[in-house]
């Protein structure tokens, strides 16, 4: 593979942009807070992005999800990089691939609690492009002016990891000359109470892979990266998408395969596509949700596939599990280790699950990495692994 990452930025409860995220990771400053989502009294912790509330000028595109996408696109140099690509290629030769789990269901929830006297949607909520599973890509195309092909992927928690694989294929087949990939998901009552009905939420800050973990925390985030064929942009950030793996267990709607067969396949596919052995990987950002089953199965796979020289961590203790935006958020954290030379620790880890044995610790580790990997495993067994390398 020869795909360059030429720009990226992240927006979550841990930081509204990459600079703030780096500082939060550096200083072990979590963005999790006691649940204060309006309309919910659930006893849990969430990763809410308070700055979304100020984005109220989207008119017919207004939704909490679109507001977070807009906030994310305003961070760093994303808009400037896109402007340069539009000048170089034109708007029709740039693609958009977005991942999301909820799209704008937050807006639909509000619409149906505020019907008019005849039980119909009020004019402000008559938004056919918002009450739509494809809303994230439709909105990003509108916001950026990009006119190339667009796609929205919803494979639960692997959604915005799979955007990299799709974007790479589009570039390899010459469908486009650059791709804006991203993910956005926001907190809403359907998601929060849905996960509560599955008895997956913790009343405490999450503790991935800890012996005493008791559930997950949900969060919201948006993130974006810009991909281009290798060697076509002299201003890249020195990072390549070296490999990816995709699989589907289809074992159970919400429980991973007991032996992690699909998860194993996605990791080995990524290694094979990159032409690397497992011992070449310096760091793996784990899916690590803090649920009993997911962490146990993923942890056993890691100890089976990778040597102790491969350092691992879960970073969900900083912003929670951001569902359809988890893939892009953790891909950005992972690839950024190639620039910062700092591997983030696993926040809130005190005692590793006694059934597990692999290299994971709460503290950060200073290390110059060459090859790094991130896992995203979704409901229904939708798995994706991404592998990033320093450009030679």
Task: Please give the positions annotated as active site.
Answer: 157, 287, 321
- Cβ count near 251 (within 10 Å): 15
Alpha-helical regions (H) of the chain: 18-26, 64-73, 78-89, 105-112, 135-144, 159-172, 189-197, 261-274, 292-305, 316-319, 326-340
Q: Provide the 3-class DSSP secondary structure of residue 87.
A: helix
Burial of 40 (0-12, 13-18, 19+ CB in 10 A): middle
- Cβ count near 226 (within 10 Å): 26
| Distance from the Cα of residue 284 to its chain's centroid | 15
**20, two tokens:** 């703030």
**Unique residue bearing structure tokens 């072990």:** 28
- Cβ count near 364 (within 10 Å): 16
**383, two tokens:** 């798995």
DSSP string, 273-290: HHT--GGG--EEE----S
DSSP 63: -
- Rounded Cα distance between 330 and 195, Å, is 21
Quote the radius of gyration of the chain (alpha carbons, Å): 20
- Rounded Cα distance between 141 and 143, Å, is 6
What are the residues whose beta carbons fall under 8 Å from the beta carbon of 368, sequence distance 6 or more? 341
């Amino acid at each position: 593979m020869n795909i360059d990452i030429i720009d990226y930025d992240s927006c979550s409860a841990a930081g509204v942009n990459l600079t703030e995220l780096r500082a939060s990771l550096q200083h072990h400053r979590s963005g999790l807070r006691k649940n204060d989502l309006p309309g919910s009294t659930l006893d849990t912790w969430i990763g809410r992005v308070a700055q979304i509330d100020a984005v109220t000028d989207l008119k017919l595109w207004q939704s909490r999800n679109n507001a977070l996408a807009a906030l994310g696109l305003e961070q760093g140099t994303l808009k400037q990089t896109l402007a340069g690509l539009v000048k170089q290629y034109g708007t029709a030769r740039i693609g958009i691939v977005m991942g999301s789990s909820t799209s704008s269901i937050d807006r639909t929830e509000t619409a149906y609690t505020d019907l008019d006297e005849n039980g119909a949607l009020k004019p402000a909520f008559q938004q056919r492009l918002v009450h739509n599973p494809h809303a994230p890509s439709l909105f990003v195309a509108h916001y950026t002016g990009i006119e190339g092909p667009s796609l929205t992927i919803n494979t639960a928690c692997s959604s915005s990891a799979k955007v990299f694989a799709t974007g790479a294929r589009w570039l390899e087949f010459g469908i486009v000359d650059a791709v804006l990939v991203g993910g956005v998901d926001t907190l809403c009552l359907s998601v929060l109470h849905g996960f509560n009905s599955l008895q997956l939420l913790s009343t405490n800050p999450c503790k991935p892979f800890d012996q005493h973990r008791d559930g997950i925390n949900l969060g919201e985030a948006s993130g974006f990266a810009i991909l281009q064929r290798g060697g076509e942009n002299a201003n890249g950030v020195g990072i390549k998408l070296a490999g990816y793996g995709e699989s589907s267990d289809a074992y159970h709607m919400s429980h991973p395969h007991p032996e992690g067969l699909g998860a194993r396949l996605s990791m080995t596919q990524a290694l094979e596509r990159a032409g690397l052995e497992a011992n070449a990987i310096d760091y793996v950002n784990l899916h690590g949700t803090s649920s009993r089953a997911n962490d146990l199965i993923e942890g056993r796979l890691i100890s089976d596939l990778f040597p102790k020289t491969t350092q691992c961590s879960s970073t969900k203790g900083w912003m929670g599990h951001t569902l359809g935006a988890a893939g892009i958020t953790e891909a950005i954290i992972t690839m950024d280790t190639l620039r910062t030379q700092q591997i983030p620790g696993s926040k809130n880890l005190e005692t590793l699950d006694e059934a597990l044995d692999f290299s994971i610790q709460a503290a950060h580790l200073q290390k110059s990495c060459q090859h790094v990997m991130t896992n995203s495993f979704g409901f229904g067994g939708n798995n994706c692994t991404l592998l990033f390398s320093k450009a030679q």
